[in-house]
A and B are shown apart, each in its own frame.
Chain A
Amino acid sequence: MNEMQLLTWARGTGLDFAVGIFLLGVLWRLIEIYSLGRKKDLSAARQAAGASGWHTIFRRSVPAEGMLKKSPVSYIGGYTFHIGLAICVFLFAPHIKLIQSLTGLSWPGLPSQFVDLIAVVTIAAMVVVLVDRINKPVKRYLSTFQDWFTWTLTFLPVLTGWMAVQHLLLPYTTMLAIHILSVELLLVFLPFTKLFHAFTVFGSRWYIGTVNGHKGVAV
């Protein structure tokens, strides 16, 4: 298989397969989790303004009182790489084209040099949070194979995408093929690892917000 064939496979069969597992996996996991249901709360509710599941979905994106100072790397590094990832994935023109070809949806992208810069920042932020995970006793203590593995799964697409655009190390076609393959790996594993928080974070925040809303605690 030469690099062209590899790229063709990655773009064709490979992509179909990965997207298929991703979609089925997400659906399965969502059902697996949320079909467990929960008991109705029979205690009398105390209403308060600004306390509900929906409020909490947004509010939890902001650090709790005093926490930014306690865990600056987690928050600043975390924000940076999450926003960076979102920009690279959804606002890079070639990605938008791909999404358009798959779904018909399209939106304006950002200039390629800008996305380039964002990719570098994202890579740097990810390295920083990794170092933090190694250095901080609590994070190291909590970390299992999954944490290192999912970091790698997330890191590779950014790195290889950036390298492909920069024509670094390997010929463009090969690097692009590797980039696509790394994304496919990420898609396949996302539903079954902690990366699934991308979906459940909304459910979790909604649940805790509802419980607090019921008690009239606005958080």
Chain B
Amino acid sequence: MSATMEKGVRVLKEVIDAPIASYFSSCVHCGICAEACLFYTETGDPKYTPIHKLEPLRRIYEQEYTLLGRLKKMVGLSKPVTDAELGEWQELVYNSCTLCGRCSAVCPVGNDIVYMVRKMREGMSASGNAPVGIKGAVNRTITIGSPMGVKLPAVKAQMKHVEEDYGLPIPLDAEGAEYMVMLSSMEIINFPEYLGAIAKIMDQAGKTWTLCSTAFEATNAGMQIGNSDLAKVLVSRIVDGAEKLKVKTVISPECGHAYTALRWEGANLIGRPFTFEVKHIIEVLGEFQEQGLLKTEGFETDKLTFHDPCQLARRGGVIKQQRNLMNMVAKNFVEMPDAGYMNWCCGGGGGASAIEEGEELRIEAFKKKKSQLDAVKPDRLVTACANCRIVLEEGLEHYQMDIPVVGLTEMIAEHIPEKGA
């Protein structure tokens, strides 16, 4: 066994805890999780059954932590997990899993399958079996500061543009601000309107806010690839920045995994509770709306629907806010089947969208989203995740569906009355 493989197996052993042991012991092979996974429903290939994606981890559990398994191993009756096998599993653990958590939502015995996939990725990455696409994103985030290679000067240039366009200041490193706003590279490059939207919203609400020069990138490729050490480095940057600027709340951008990484994994990665709060921008907008700090005028009149990012809704518990916000500015807001808690993934979450080899499968899986959209035939599709947005746009283009995709925060901001008008 090579040294990296040895490390991989050791890591796989280490990640097994009581919940995982309980889950593996509870599985009755009913296959219901398959029906919840878009990679199975759209391909019909049983190898995409969620619990099957964990087979190597299950065997390690059995061989290392159960009496019978240990006996079997002693007398040479068990099949050891090999490097080749983990290599084969790469497609199952990364390309065909977006960590969307639908499987965990339906398993009748309560197995949190996505929790286990996340843990299994730790061993995959330690044994060198993670896909190159995500590896590249991780390297860029560690060395340059963002997965798409965006550096501070690019952010500053963006800030300047927005300040000119909107006539509002974009504070940088303002100590003692209430909110520290995070971005995702995707927003810096593709959706600069987001920053302008924040400026307008904060200005109207009368809140102080700031960007941070040492921590502007919120996405966490370390978490996606399954390397907690790297994920920790990335989270620490944000924690250091937030504590240095003494902000009360860090706002996670319209990016699902950035939210999960910061809101739920962050404190566990650095090993202590945060001294500030973490909120998704949609949560903040929801609060402003409730407190009467968000006032809009006018309505969108075309038919709109909302795509719930998995990490925000199912995995993050933010479900009502986006609907209240939609209704605030849209006259004709319709829900897709399964919207909300059980919404189907765009097909590119969890780092999957960074995997080039996975594109064909992703397009195949997009048929699920297509069928949801076909059911309501919206004029435009609204969402709250920059990654969903890119993946949705790719899928829509492939299937020649003419449905523009918009970010909710920007749409809300467009309805904020101009000052003095």
Contact = CB atoms under 8 A, between A and B. Distances in A.
Contact of B115 (A141, A144, A211): A211
Given A74-B30, A142-B31, A197 B46 contact: no
Nearest to A56: B110
A95 interface: no
A57 B22 CA distance: 14
Interface stretch (A62-70, A167-175, A177-185): A62-70
Interface string B53-88: 000000000000111100000000000000000000
A74 B31 contact: yes
- Among A200, A206, A211, A216, chain B packs the most CB atoms within 10 A around the CB of A200
Interface string A30-52: 00111111110111101010010
B286 to A, nearest CB: 13
A35 B17 contact: no
B281 to A, nearest CB: 16
Contacts of B44: 137
Given A43-B266, A215-B264, A32 B46 contact: no
Main secondary structure of the interface of A (DSSP, over half): helix
Given A35-B18, A201-B109, A204-B109, A217 B35 contact: no
Contacts of A70: 32, 35
Interface string B14-39: 00111111110111111110111000
A84 interface: no
Interface residues of A, number: 59
A212 B314 CA distance: 9
A219 interface: yes
A57 to B, nearest CB: 8
Interface in A189-215: 192, 194, 196-197, 200-201, 203-209, 211-212, 215
B110 A67 contact: no
Given A32-B21, A43-B263, A211 B65 contact: no
B271 interface: yes
A203 B31 contact: no
A201 B265 CA distance: 26
A46 B17 contact: no
A23 to B, nearest CB: 15
A208 B110 contact: yes
B105 to A, nearest CB: 6
A78 B17 contact: no
A42 B317 contact: no
B307 interface: no
B29 to A, nearest CB: 4
B193 interface: no
Given A36-B16, A42-B272, A67-B35, A204 B23 contact: yes
B106 interface: yes
Contact of A32 (B23, B52, B66, B108): B66
Contact of B17 (A39, A144, A200, A209): A39
B317 A64 contact: no
B161 to A, nearest CB: 35
Given A65-B342, A141-B52, 16 more contacts: A33-B18, A35-B18, A36-B21, A38-B19, A43-B264, A43-B268, A44-B267, A60-B109, A60-B110, A64-B342, A138-B49, A140-B46, A204-B22, A207-B19, A215-B316, A217-B315
